[in-house]
Homo-oligomer: A and B are copies of this chain.
Amino acid sequence: MVKLSPIVACGTCPIRHNAVCAKCDAEELVILEQAKSYKTLPAGSRLAEAGETLSYFSTIIEGCATISRTLEDGRRQTVGLLLPSDFIGRPGRATSPFDVEALTEVKLCRFERTTFEQLVTDTPHIATRLLTMTLDELDAARDWAVVLGRMTAREKVAAFLVSLARRQAGARGTATAGGRAVVHLPLSREAMSDHLGLTIETTSRQMTALRKDGLIETPTKREIHIPDFDALAFEAAEDDDGGPIV
């Protein structure tokens, strides 16, 4: 029986593989090994284009990418942020209705889409694993809709930093609640604003305001220190369930 723990270490990749693991199911690994390849792409690469057929599904090993849509008049909204261990691909679907774009250089562990699909068909319990991942993404997307629909600019920025801190802390296995936290911003102010539904000026102003209020420190533009994590989380107007938001 395959393990369904959220992070599955694999002999080859340092990061979880979302479907298979050498330790639990050798046969599945064989199927995917022959279709697996590593690839590094520079910042700005289109990992997927809305409507275009994907050749590969991938796990992000390093770097950061966004899922976004651009309207005809240029307005852009990011609807998802992809960090290491996140999966790019929609089992059962060859295309995506959104663009996926690398914000930084990204290292990918790729699988040929058709082979991956075949694996899902042949070993149906893997669909259960993918279902769990998709439900997590759905929760995250809906959480973010609350931020987009009902929060002020200050709350949006705070919520973003808090959620990013949680995800990065989770990846490093360090704790966040209570004390200090450090966030590395893999996004430009523009990319942040696209995610928050704000302009870059407003995002910039809110960052300055949070700094002046002592809620964050900015040694460099891309590095954020959070002296009191709970205080920043309070600014984000979080409700009862303190789960991750991005």
Residue among A76, A125, A127 with the most chain B CB within 10 A? A127
Decide: B143 and A97 in contact? CB cutoff 8 A.
Answer: yes
Decide: B131 and A124 in contact? CB cutoff 8 A.
Answer: no
Q: Enumerate 21 A-B pairs (CB-CB under 8 Å) in ascending A order.
A: A50-B241, A51-B241, A69-B142, A69-B146, A69-B239, A71-B150, A71-B237, A72-B240, A75-B237, A93-B135, A97-B243, A98-B142, A125-B127, A127-B127, A131-B131, A134-B134, A134-B135, A138-B138, A138-B141, A141-B142, A145-B148
Interface residue? A139 (CB, 8 A):
yes
Residues in chain A within 8 A of chain B (CB atoms): 50-51, 67, 69-73, 75-77, 79-80, 90-93, 97-98, 120-121, 124-125, 127-128, 130-132, 134-135, 137-139, 141-146, 148-150, 196-197, 237, 239-241, 243
Closest-CB distance, A87 to chain B (whole angstroms): 12
Closest-CB distance, A144 to chain B (whole angstroms): 6
Complex CA gap A76/B148 in Å reads 12
Complex CA gap A128/B50 in Å reads 23
Complex CA gap A120/B132 in Å reads 13
Decide: B148 and A149 in contact? CB cutoff 8 A.
Answer: yes
Decide: A141 near B145, CB < 8 A? Known: A127-B127, A239-B72, A240-B50.
Answer: yes
**Chain B minimum-CB-distance residue to A124:** B124
List the B side residues contacting A239 at CB < 8 Å.
69-72
A51-B241, A130-B131 known; 13 other A-B pairs, CB under 8 Å? A67-B142, A71-B150, A72-B239, A72-B240, A125-B127, A127-B127, A127-B128, A134-B134, A134-B135, A134-B138, A138-B141, A149-B196, A150-B197
